[in-house]
């Protein structure tokens, strides 16, 4: 690989590292909101937990955890990609 292409790969790596940082922040935010939704559900009286509002809180928390997990998987893939690019 010539110098110009190495520089382009280096720039790509910098962009990927920025994306990884943003994805990690987004993962943390999703986890925090999921925890808050779960706490709100858990603090409801049992009768309200079975209401539409309770169902929605539980569903929101479950979806947020699913999205967080998916984002974690994508982030891991990007980290692997960066590691491979750095060895080129």
What pTM does this model have? 0.86
**Average pLDDT for 12-31:** 98
Q: How confident is the model at residue 16 (pLDDT cuts 50, 70, 90)?
A: very high
Average pLDDT value over all residues in the chain: 96
DSSP string, 26-38: HHHHHHHHHHHHH
pLDDT for 61: 96
Residue extents of the structural domains in the chain: 3-78
């Amino acid at each position: 690989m010539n110098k110009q292409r190495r520089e382009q790969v280096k720039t790509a790596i910098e962009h990927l590292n920025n994306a990884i940082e943003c994805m990690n922040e987004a993962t943390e935010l999703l986890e925090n909101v999921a925890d808050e939704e779960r706490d709100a559900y858990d603090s409801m009286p049992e009768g309200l937990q079975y209401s539409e509002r309770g169902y929605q809180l539980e569903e929101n928390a479950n979806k947020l955890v699913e999205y967080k997990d998916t984002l974690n998987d994508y982030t891991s893939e990007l980290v692997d990609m960066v590691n491979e690019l750095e060895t080129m």
